[in-house]
Amino acid sequence: MELPKNAKVLRVFVGEQDRYEGAPLHEAILDLAMKDKLAGATVFRGVSGFGCSTHIHTSKILSMSEDLPMVVEVVDSEEKINAFLTKIDGMIESGLIIIESAQVLIYRGKHS
């Protein structure tokens, strides 16, 4: 798969407890990105954070949150990211989505 030098990064911020059709939302987004054959996607679990609720979710022992922040990053061409965004828009009830420009330096697999 060829990835343009000037790509886009779609970053989706959701909560660990967010669901889509019974599955964790971050997993549903990742599965859809793979199904749509996007160049790559990664899910990160946050240590702590807050969103529009201004309630801090943290992994500290004394205040174990059951809803840690999750970030899904997806990288591909602008066209593919924009098409993917229209698909995930209806999946997200609460969260933040941003798109950033990225310069791709290397994109290759072990068996390329």
Domain of residue 60, CATH code: 3.30.70.120
Entry pTM: 0.85
Report yes or no on 18 lying in a domain. Answer: yes
Report yes or no on 36 lying in a domain. Answer: yes
Question: Which residue's structure tokens are 């054959």?
Answer: 37
pLDDT digits (tens, 9 = 90+) for 29-54: 999 999 999 999 999 998 777 666 65
> What would the mean pLDDT of 87-112 be, rounded to a whole number?
90
Taking CA atoms, 60 is separated from 38, 49, 56, 63, in Å, by: 35, 12, 11, 6
> What would the mean pLDDT of 72-79 be, rounded to a whole number?
97
Of the chain, the percentage scoring pLDDT greater than 70 comes to: 81
Grade residue 55 by pLDDT with cuts at 50, 70 and 90. low
> What would the mean pLDDT of 16-38 be, rounded to a whole number?
96
Report yes or no on 111 lying in a domain. Answer: no
How many domains, in total, are found in the chain?
1
Report yes or no on 72 lying in a domain. Answer: yes
Residue 67 structural domain: 6-103
